[in-house]
A and B are shown apart, each in its own frame.
Chain A
Amino acid sequence: MKLIPDLIKKITNNEIWRSVFRHGYADTPRNRALQIISNIWLHLHPVKVREHGTKIRFTWCMGGITFFIFLFETITGILLMFYYVPDVNRAYADIVDLMYVVPFGRFLRNSHRWGAHAMVITVSVHMFRVFLTGSYKPPRQFNWVVGVILLVLTFLLSFTGYLLPWDQLGYWAITVGTNMARATPFLGHEGPFSYILGMRPDNDIRFALLGGTAIDAPALLRAYVWHCIAIPVIASALMMVHFWRVRKDGGISGPL
């Protein structure tokens, strides 16, 4: 009858187990603290938090969920990268393959797509909550600024991904979006006062975004690199700042 306790003791009471897990799981205040401190992933948290900060009715859990969806998108995105080549002759066929040939490909692509939409929603709801609780007030002003930049980056992440399937939906959505750039004052060739800087279709800001005067192979490659590498790297760096500052600015906001 003592088989299971004995087994657990055998598994946990040896050098290998203890080299991985430094402390036991007896529910003591010390272990609760160690659980956070001695874990690289959990040490993002303080050992103790103010109780209201753990209430879903206060935080709505939206910041954490946004971060989680970012991780979810990273994992599904890496898997998609195994099957997708950002080449105008292949891109659409690769997506069709994902939908009809690759095992679980459709499931993978769907969850990446819906995750992206969900992240845009959760990040904007997070901003709404932070505003309503006045959490941008001193000493947290700068973290709000970082948050606004992260909000914009989330839009750009989703936007750059929109072109990648190379279908009519993405192509014309990006056409509408990037056409705005040519109306930029001074810097777009159709924008007000652009003649001052001598802007033409082949040297204005839209040209810089697309790598051409129309959406073609260079634009697809740029969208891909921004989407898969550049923006995630920038966003990750800013997320580190964002989370670090939450801690350094006195933990989650709350009434005195």
Chain B
Amino acid sequence: MEVRQEKKGMIELKDDKVFTWPTLVAKEFLAAIFVTVGLLFYSYFVDAPLRELSNPGQAENPAKAPWYFLGLQEVLVYFDPWFAGVVLPSIIILGLILIPYLDNNPKGNGYYTFKERRFAVTTFVFGYIFWYVLIYIGTALRGPFWAFFWPWEKWTHDFPTPPPLHNLPLPLGIILMCGFYFAGLTLPALFKKDFFMKLGIIRYSLTMGLLLTMIGTVIKMVFRLAFNVKFIIATPWINI
């Protein structure tokens, strides 16, 4: 069979290749040296933390997970452990894994651009920053009994009693929750037809489901902070 190449049109490939040795290897070598020197320099002056011998009878207050998990520990204030400690991190990992399969925008492959992928970059950067903001709050602003302290305040055991929390009535909670996901899934599809059509129904549903869960987590926090709402949905089996 004859291959008709002329129809494809020529692609101008730039020959921008350089020798790995020494262009890249030299930089890697320098990076390795700088990292080593930096780590050793820091290690010489700053000691790794070591507290007294572990004592199961005497809990640390506050007891904190390693810093990179403190974002999740901070979420624990607003959600039950099954969500903050297990389901949310699982959704985050799953969502990260799904990114390449959900984002079918062919533009912005291999170069920095915001203009060509506004939605993807905005969503990811928001999530990334949010993760680190939570880590900062959990690390620096949470004192004994996980009470909130501003950076300029001293950690004490003498802090005002937090206001009492209340649950939303169950019917209202279910309506709010279903309404949130329903509106979040349908409205963009109606008003941003382009966006919907480009993704197709499966990619669209997964993308919006993940996005709504991220936004919903934030909204729940706002509900707690502004209106002292403990749970949106409270049942004997599960609380959200």
Cβ-closest chain B residue relative to A250: B110
Determine the chain A residues whose CB is within 8 A of the CB of B111 once the complex forms: 133-134, 254-255
Q: Does A233 contact B (CB under 8 A)?
A: no
Contact assessment for B128 and A128 in the assembled complex, using a CB-CB cutoff below 8 Å? yes
Give B33 Cβ to nearest chain A Cβ, in Å.
10
Give A134 Cβ to nearest chain B Cβ, in Å.
4
Give A175 Cβ to nearest chain B Cβ, in Å.
6
Q: Which of B69, B80, B108 contacts A137 (CB 8 A)?
A: B108
Separation of A134 and B66 alpha carbons in the complex (Å): 30
- B contacts with A, residue count (CB < 8 A): 76
Separation of A52 and B14 alpha carbons in the complex (Å): 12
Separation of A244 and B15 alpha carbons in the complex (Å): 23
Q: Which of B19, B81, B85, B106 contacts A29 (CB 8 A)?
A: B19
Determine the chain A residues whose CB is within 8 A of the CB of B112 once the complex forms: 132-133
Determine the chain A residues whose CB is within 8 A of the CB of B97 once the complex forms: 144-145, 148-149
Binding stretch for chain B, among A3-11, A12-20, A65-73, A224-232: A65-73
Determine the chain B residues whose CB is within 8 A of the CB of A218 once the complex forms: none
Give B73 Cβ to nearest chain A Cβ, in Å.
6
Contact assessment for A134 and B108 in the assembled complex, using a CB-CB cutoff below 8 Å? yes
Contact assessment for B50 and A169 in the assembled complex, using a CB-CB cutoff below 8 Å? yes
Cβ-closest chain B residue relative to A125: B128
- CB interface residues, B 70-107, toward A, < 8 Å: 72-73, 80-82, 84-87, 93, 96-97, 99-101, 103, 105-107
Query: Known: A111-B40, A166-B53. Is A152-B16 also a contact (CB below 8 A)?
Result: no
Q: Which of A32, A182, A255 contacts B110 (CB 8 A)?
A: A255
Q: Does A47 contact B (CB under 8 A)?
A: yes
Query: Known: A192-B238, A253-B110. Is A167-B19 also a contact (CB below 8 A)?
Result: no
Determine the chain A residues whose CB is within 8 A of the CB of B176 once the complex forms: none
Query: Known: A45-B20, A177-B69, A192-B82. Is A110-B43 also a contact (CB below 8 A)?
Result: yes
Q: Which of A69, A131, A155, A176 contacts B63 (CB 8 A)?
A: A176
Determine the chain B residues whose CB is within 8 A of the CB of A149 once the complex forms: 97
Q: Does B162 contact A (CB under 8 A)?
A: no
Q: Does A99 contact B (CB under 8 A)?
A: yes
Q: Does B164 contact A (CB under 8 A)?
A: no
Q: Does A36 contact B (CB under 8 A)?
A: yes
Contact assessment for B27 and A168 in the assembled complex, using a CB-CB cutoff below 8 Å? no
Contact assessment for B24 and A54 in the assembled complex, using a CB-CB cutoff below 8 Å? yes
Q: Does B151 contact A (CB under 8 A)?
A: no
Separation of A99 and B97 alpha carbons in the complex (Å): 41
Q: Does B227 contact A (CB under 8 A)?
A: no
Contact assessment for A185 and B18 in the assembled complex, using a CB-CB cutoff below 8 Å? no
Determine the chain A residues whose CB is within 8 A of the CB of B24 once the complex forms: 45, 49, 53-54
Contact assessment for A134 and B50 in the assembled complex, using a CB-CB cutoff below 8 Å? no
Determine the chain B residues whose CB is within 8 A of the CB of A82 once the complex forms: none
Q: Does B35 contact A (CB under 8 A)?
A: yes
Give A102 Cβ to nearest chain B Cβ, in Å.
14
Contact assessment for B100 and A137 in the assembled complex, using a CB-CB cutoff below 8 Å? yes
Query: Known: A137-B106, A184-B86. Is A95-B50 also a contact (CB below 8 A)?
Result: yes
Give B122 Cβ to nearest chain A Cβ, in Å.
12
Separation of A256 and B108 alpha carbons in the complex (Å): 10
Q: 1/0 per residue B111-155: CB within 8 Å of A?
A: 111000100110010001000000000000000000000000000
Q: Does A165 contact B (CB under 8 A)?
A: yes
